[in-house]
C-alpha cells in the first residue's frame, strides 16, 4: 500500500462514488479509492442485501489496509410511483387525446392504464400535472373520479410497463419510508453505514421518522428532489444532518430553469448551518459510455466547487459505466484545479458565514484569522462527535483540517465534510487527557503526514475538559520544532 502522505487528498471538496455492477470487485473498489473517492454510495434501489454487504465489507477491509478513514452512504429508494402493465408492453400516447388512469388492474391500452396508487387519485385536482417516464410525457388532470383520473395528453410519446410517475403539484399522504425502505434501513444500520440517503422527502416529519429509527447511528442525508421539500427547506435543514441536491427527480418536477437556483439556495442554506451538502446526478453523465467528459460537465463540477459544496457525486458513471476509474480521476482533477484558482479562494473568503453567538463559533472564527495571519499548513480539531471539525470546516480555511476523534464512527462521518481529513486516535480517549497530551498527539499526526516542516505553525482547537460534547473553548498555536 501507499505511504500515508500519498493518501492525503490535495483538495477540500469530497468525492462520493456509487458502487454497482461495474465497480463491485475488490480490485475496482480499491482502484476508485486511490483515484480519489472519499465516500462510497450503496444504492438500495438496486441489488440484494447480500450484494450490498459484500461491497461494504470490501470497503472496510480496504480502510483497514490503508489506514485511511472511508465513509459509506446507504441510499434508500423511497416511494416509487409507477403505472401498471400494458397488453402489448407499451403504447403511444398522442398529444391532445384523453387518457384514463384508474385502479383497475386489467392490462392497459392506448385509452387507459392502471395507476396502483389511490393516494394520487385522492390528492389530485383538475389542472394538476402528471409527469411520466422521467418527465418525457406530460398529462393534465381534467376530471377526478372516485377511482380514476381522466387526463389530457399535453406531451405525448411512448409509454411502457412500470414507468415512473411524478406529481409536482400534489403533496401525497404517504411516508418517505416504504415497507421495503424500513427493511433496507434496518439492514444498512446493522451493517454499520455512516450515512442514510433519504429519498422523496416532502415534510420535516419524514426526516424526523428516519432520525428516530437511526437514533444517532448514522447521519441522515436528506435528498432534495421534490418541490414540496423546497417549500419546507428551512424546517428540513434544521432537522437533517446533511443534504443532497438530487437534481434527477428535482429536474423532472421543477422547470429546468429553476434547478440551478434551487441548487444555489440549498448549498447556501446548508453552509449557513454548517451541514454537509452533496451535489449529485448527471455530473459526468456522458462518461457512462465515453472516456472523457463534455466541457459542460466539467463546468458543472467546477460550479458546484465554486458554490462551496462539501461533495460532488457520481451515480451511474461509476456504478454501471464503462469508465468508472476515469470518471473519478477527472472529477478529482477538476476539483483540484478549481481549488488552486485565486478566484475560488477569494469567493470562499467572500462567502464565509458569520459566526453564531456562542463560544465554539467564536473560537473557530478566531482560528481562521490566526491561520490567515500565520499561513499555518494545518489545524487539528479534537472532537468527539465531529462538531468542532464541522464548525472549522464552515469557516472554509486555507489550512488543512485534521478532525481527530476517539471514535471511528465520528471519523467516518467526517469523511463527507469539506476540507476535513478524519483521523481516529484512541490516544485522546481519556477525560484526563491534558493540553500537552493533545499538542503532542497533534504534532505526531501532522508530521506523520508530512504536512508541516520545522519552523511552521500549527493550530490546535479542542474543548476542555476533553470528551465533553459541545465544549470547544481552547486554541493553542504550536511551533513545529
Threshold 0.85, pTM exceeds: yes
- Using a CB cutoff of 8 Å and minimum separation of 24, what contacts does 284-287 make? 284/314, 284/317, 284/327, 284/330, 284/331, 285/316, 285/317, 287/317, 287/321, 287/323, 287/326, 287/327, 287/330
Assigned C-alpha cell, 384? 468527539
- Using a CB cutoff of 8 Å and minimum separation of 24, what contacts does 178-184 make? 178/77, 178/78, 178/79, 180/77, 181/76, 181/77, 181/78, 181/79, 182/213, 184/44, 184/49, 184/74, 184/76, 184/77
Q: What is the C-alpha end-to-end distance of the chain, expressed in Å?
A: 29
Contact 18, 318 (CB under 8 A): yes
Q: Nearest-CA neighbor of 199 among 226, 162, 227?
A: 226
Q: Is 223 a catalytic residue?
A: yes
Of 14, 41, 129, 226, which is the active-site residue?
41
Q: How far is the CA of 397 from the CAs of 108, 345, 418, in angstroms?
A: 59, 9, 10
Q: Is 396 a catalytic residue?
A: no
Q: Is 281 a catalytic residue?
A: yes
Assigned C-alpha cell, 116? 396502483
Q: Structural domains in the chain?
A: 4-78+176-340 (3.20.20.60), 90-166 (2.40.33.10), 352-479 (3.40.1380.20)
Of 26, 80, 82, 180, which is the active-site residue?
82
11 CB neighbour count, 10 Å cutoff: 20
Of 112, 211, 223, 226, which is the active-site residue?
223
Consecutive sets of 10 residues in the chain, 481 residues long: mean pLDDT of each?
72 98 97 97 95 98 96 94 94 97 96 96 96 94 96 96 92 89 97 97 95 97 94 97 94 91 97 96 96 98 97 97 98 97 94 87 93 94 92 94 95 98 87 84 92 91 73 88 81
Distance CA 421, CA 401 (A): 6
Quote the pLDDT of residue 229. Answer: 93
Q: Is 82 a catalytic residue?
A: yes
Assigned C-alpha cell, 233? 427547506
3-state secondary structure of 70: coil
Distance CA 144, CA 132 (A): 18
Quote the pLDDT of residue 470. Answer: 62
Residue positions counted in the chain? 481
Residue 149, φ and ψ in degrees, nearest 5: -125, 130
Q: Give the angle subtended at the CA of 352 by the CAs of 479 and 207, to the nearest 5°.
A: 110
Of 281, 383, 388, 405, which is the active-site residue?
281
Distance CA 359, CA 365 (A): 10
Assigned C-alpha cell, 405? 476523534
DSSP state, residue 419: T
Amino acid at each position: 500500500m501507499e505511504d500515508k502522505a500519498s493518501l492525503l487528498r490535495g483538495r477540500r471538496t469530497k468525492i462520493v462514488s456509487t458502487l454497482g455492477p461495474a465497480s463491485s470487485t475488490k480490485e475496482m473498489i480499491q482502484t476508485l479509492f486511490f483515484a480519489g473517492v472519499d465516500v462510497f454510495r450503496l444504492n438500495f434501489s438496486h441489488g440484494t442485501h447480500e450484494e450490498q454487504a459484500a461491497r461494504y465489507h470490501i470497503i472496510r477491509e480496504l480502510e483497514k489496509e490503508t489506514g485511511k478513514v472511508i465513509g459509506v452512504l446507504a441510499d434508500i429508494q423511497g416511494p416509487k410511483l409507477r403505472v401498471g402493465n400494458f397488453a402489448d408492453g407499451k403504447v403511444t400516447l398522442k398529444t391532445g387525446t384523453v387518457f384514463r388512469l384508474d385502479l383497475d388492474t386489467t392490462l392497459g391500452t392506448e385509452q387507459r392504464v392502471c395507476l396502483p396508487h389511490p393516494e394520487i387519485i385522492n390528492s389530485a385536482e383538475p389542472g394538476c400535472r402528471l409527469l411520466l417516464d422521467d418527465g418525457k410525457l406530460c398529462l393534465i388532470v381534467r376530471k377526478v373520479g372516485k377511482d380514476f383520473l381522466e387526463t389530457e395528453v399535453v406531451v405525448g410519446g411512448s409509454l411502457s410497463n412500470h414507468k415512473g410517475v411524478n406529481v409536482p403539484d400534489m403533496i401525497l399522504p404517504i411516508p418517505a419510508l416504504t415497507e421495503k425502505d424500513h427493511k433496507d434501513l434496518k439492514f444498512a444500520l446493522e451493517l454499520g453505514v455512516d450515512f442514510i440517503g433519504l429519498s422523496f422527502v416532502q415534510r420535516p416529519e419524514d426526516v424526523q421518522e428516519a432520525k428516530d429509527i437511526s437514533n444517532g447511528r448514522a447521519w441522515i442525508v436528506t435528498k432534495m428532489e421534490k418541490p414540496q421539500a423546497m417549500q419546507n427547506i428551512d424546517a428540513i435543514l434544521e432537522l437533517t444532518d446533511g443534504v443532497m441536491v438530487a437534481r434527477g427527480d428535482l429536474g423532472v418536477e421543477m422547470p429546468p430553469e429553476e434547478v440551478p437556483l434551487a441548487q444555489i439556495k440549498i448549498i447556501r442554506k446548508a453552509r449557513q448551518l454548517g451541514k454537509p451538502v452533496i451535489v449529485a446526478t448527471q455530473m459526468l453523465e456522458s462518461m457512462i459510455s465515453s472516456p472523457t467528459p463534455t466541457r459542460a460537465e466539467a463546468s458543472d463540477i467546477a460550479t458546484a466547487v465554486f458554490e462551496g459544496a462539501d461533495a460532488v457525486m457520481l451515480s451511474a458513471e461509476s456504478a454501471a459505466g464503462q469508465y468508472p476509474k476515469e470518471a473519478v480521476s477527472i472529477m478529482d482533477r477538476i476539483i483540484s484545479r478549481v481549488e488552486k484558482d485565486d478566484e475560488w479562494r477569494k469567493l470562499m473568503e467572500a462567502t464565509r458565514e458569520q459566526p453564531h453567538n456562542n463560544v465554539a463559533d467564536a473560537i473557530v472564527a478566531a482560528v481562521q484569522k490566526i491561520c490567515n495571519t500565520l499561513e499555518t499548513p494545518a489545524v487539528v480539531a479534537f472532537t468527539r462527535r465531529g462538531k468542532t471539525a464541522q464548525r472549522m470546516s464552515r469557516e472554509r480555511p486555507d489550512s488543512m483540517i485534521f478532525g481527530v476523534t476517539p471514535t471511528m464512527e465520528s471519523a467516518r462521518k467526517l469523511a463527507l465534510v469539506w476540507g476535513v481529513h478524519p483521523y481516529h486516535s484512541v490516544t485522546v480517549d481519556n477525560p484526563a487527557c491534558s493540553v500537552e497530551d493533545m499538542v503532542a498527539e497533534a504534532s505526531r499526526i501532522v508530521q506523520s503526514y508530512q504536512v508541516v516542516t520545522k519552523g511552521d505553525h500549527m493550530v490546535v482547537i479542542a474543548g476542555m475538559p476533553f470528551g465533553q460534547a459541545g465544549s470547544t473553548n481552547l486554541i493553542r498555536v504550536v511551533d513545529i520544532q
